[in-house]
């Protein structure tokens, strides 16, 4: 807990109003405020935080940190860019650094959620009760909390960590997105080990090219943030990143080797272990990264082998089979060309033919849409193009951009309504085949014109199959 005057002095802030007001919580989002909170009011996608001041006060805000100087009804602190200090301020208020929590971070384009999920599972199996902060959900104690962002705003991360500490969880696995690293959301944290999965096209609406995108990811492997790096050498960008890292580092593909065949996962090289485990070859790579991260943290191979026999390898919304009857239906969060191709390739090895239901989100890198369709066409018998999160874009235009990538692939249909699209895909697919629905994954909503509309893809798919 800190007072407004202490915060003003420590961070060189201009204070207007009561100087000795005690602050016990902090948030950028009004829904995460509580009694005696500091509300950080900054510009959002559609409005400024000060536009929601009365709602913040109603939720318990007693002071404001903002980039606007104005006469307000509660004490205010001024900083020209509050996001730059939000994590450090939250660290002071929640005293998260003093808890000495063991933090593990994972970045990359695809596989982050699965890797942090496996890290948490392994840590729990090793007797190290662990929390989780991921794009699928956050785990605090025995509670699963919904996720708003892949990497939450900095005050929310510190709030979650303080809640984990209160639940006797003294370690946590955290997804680190490029935007999270660029926008100071991980400030005030210290990672023991950080892992890198891969890099492929995504978010080029935020980053002007792949080099800048990689540069954003590379911020995680800085001595100010992380002690040691583990890189999976699976693409050209991972090799480039590995060479650029100056902190202690190892790589899968260098100091460690990895193989997965007939359900046997083997790690060799610097340490040796093997385990028979029910998992897809796609997910096995993410599990291998989690294992090597813990090997580098000092856990013995034999203990990790025993832990692998105890963990749950099911990751919500990640190549998740949702069907009981046939054909087999899978829902996946794949929303990049590489992720679509990897998931489709995985299923094409197992089933006679594959139908892909494909959609893309609005207000996101539009250049990847044709590439997603091209990736789908590599392994699909047929493709159904549909809608997902059009956000502020015309959904017909998004579908058209996907279809532009299907030149030379004639077996496709355009079905705008995603519920009708999955039904059509199931209708067209024989019992020996599979349906892959790319995009919705674990999400329980669709975002349309600023509104989040309830939408349970898993439930809709099961209903279409008659499995509900």
pLDDT band for 22, please (50, 70, 90 cuts).
very high
**What is the bridge-based pairing of β-strands 328-332 and 354-358?**
unpaired
What residues have CB less than 8 Å from 257, skipping those under 6 apart?
267, 268, 269
pLDDT at 15: 94
Rounded mean pLDDT, 220-224: 97
pLDDT exceeds cutoff 80 at 1: no
The rounded percent of the chain whose pLDDT value lies above 90 is 89
Over residues 241-300, the pLDDT tens digits come to: 999 999 999 999 999 999 999 999 999 999 999 999 999 999 999 999 999 999 999 999
What is the average pLDDT score of the chain?
95
pLDDT band for 46, please (50, 70, 90 cuts).
confident
pLDDT at 19: 74
CATH of 97-308, one of 3.40.1190.10, 3.40.190.10, 3.60.150.10, 3.40.1360.10: 3.40.1190.10
Over residues 62-85, the pLDDT tens digits come to: 999 999 988 899 999 999 999 999
DSSP line for 107-124: ESSSSHHHHHHHHHHHHH
Over residues 414-425, the pLDDT tens digits come to: 999 999 999 999
User: Residue 134, by phi and psi: left (phi above 0), alpha (psi -120 to 50) or beta?
Assistant: beta
pLDDT at 442: 84
pLDDT at 316: 87
- In CATH terms, are 97-308 and 320-465 the same topology? no
pLDDT at 207: 83
Alpha helices in 44-109 (DSSP H): 53-58, 83-94
Homologous superfamily of the 2-94 domain (CATH): MurE/MurF, N-terminal domain (3.40.1390.10)
Over residues 154-212, the pLDDT tens digits come to: 999 999 999 999 999 999 999 999 999 999 999 999 999 999 999 998 878 888 899 99
Indicate the fold that domain 320-465 takes in CATH. 3.90.190
pLDDT exceeds cutoff 80 at 127: yes
Domain ranges of the chain: 2-94, 97-308, 320-465
Over residues 85-98, the pLDDT tens digits come to: 999 999 999 999 88
Question: Residue for token digits 């460690």?
Answer: 256
Q: How far is CA 269 from the centre of its chain?
A: 30
pLDDT at 408: 94
Q: Are 254 and 82 in contact (CB under 8 A)?
A: no
pLDDT at 44: 87
pLDDT band for 378, please (50, 70, 90 cuts).
very high
């Amino acid at each position: 807990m800190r007072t407004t005057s202490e915060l003003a002095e420590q961070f060189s802030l201009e204070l207007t109003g009561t100087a000795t007001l005690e602050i016990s919580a902090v948030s950028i989002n009004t829904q995460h405020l509580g009694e005696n909170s500091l509300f950080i009011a900054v510009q959002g996608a559609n409005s400024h935080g000060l536009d929601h001041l009365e709602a913040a006060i109603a939720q318990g805000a007693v002071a404001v940190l903002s980039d606007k100087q104005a006469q307000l009804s509660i004490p205010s602190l001024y900083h020209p860019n509050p996001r730059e200090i939000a994590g450090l301020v939250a660290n002071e208020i929640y005293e998260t650094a003093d808890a000495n929590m063991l933090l593990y971070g994972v970045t990359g384009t695809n596989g982050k959620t699965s890797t942090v999920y496996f890290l948490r599972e392994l840590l729990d199996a090793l007797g190290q009760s662990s929390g989780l902060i991921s794009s699928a959900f956050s785990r605090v104690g025995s509670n699963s909390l919904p996720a708003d962002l892949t990497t939450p705003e900095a005050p929310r991360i510190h709030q979650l960590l303080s809640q984990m500490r209160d639940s006797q969880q003294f370690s946590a696995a955290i997804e680190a997105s490029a935007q999270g690293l660029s926008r100071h959301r991980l400030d005030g944290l210290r990672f023991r080990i950080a892992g890198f999965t891969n890099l492929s096209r995504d978010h080029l609406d935020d980053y002007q090219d792949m080099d800048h995108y990689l540069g954003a990811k590379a911020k995680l492997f800085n001595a100010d943030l992380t002690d040691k790096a583990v890189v999976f050498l699976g693409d050209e960008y991972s090799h480039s990143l590995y060479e650029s890292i100056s902190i202690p580092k190892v790589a899968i593909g260098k100091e460690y080797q990895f193989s997965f065949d007939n359900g046997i996962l083997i790690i060799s090289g610097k340490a040796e272990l093997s385990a028979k485990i029910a998992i897809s070859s796609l997910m096995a790579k993410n599990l291998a990264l989690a294992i090597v991260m813990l090997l580098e943290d000092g856990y013995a191979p034999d203990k990790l082998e025993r832990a692998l026999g105890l963990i749950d390898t099911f990751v919500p919304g990640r190549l998740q089979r949702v069907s009981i009857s046939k054909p087999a239906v899978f829902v996946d969060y794949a929303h990049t060309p590489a992720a679509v191709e990897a998931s489709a390739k995985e299923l094409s090895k197992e089933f006679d033919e594959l139908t892909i239901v494909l959609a893309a989100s609005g207000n996101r890198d539009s250049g990847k849409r044709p590439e997603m369709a091209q990736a789908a066409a590599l392994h699909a018998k047929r493709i159904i193009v549909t809608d997902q999160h059009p956000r502020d874009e015309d959904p017909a235009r998004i579908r058209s951009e996907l279809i532009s990538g299907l030149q030379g692939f004639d077996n496709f249909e355009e079905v705008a309504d995603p519920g009708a699209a999955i039904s059509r895909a199931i209708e067209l697919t024989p019992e020996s085949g599979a349906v892959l629905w790319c995009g919705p994954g674990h999400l329980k909503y669709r975002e349309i014109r600023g509104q989040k509309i309830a939408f349970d893809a898993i439930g809709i798919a099961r209903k279409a199959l008659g499995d509900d």
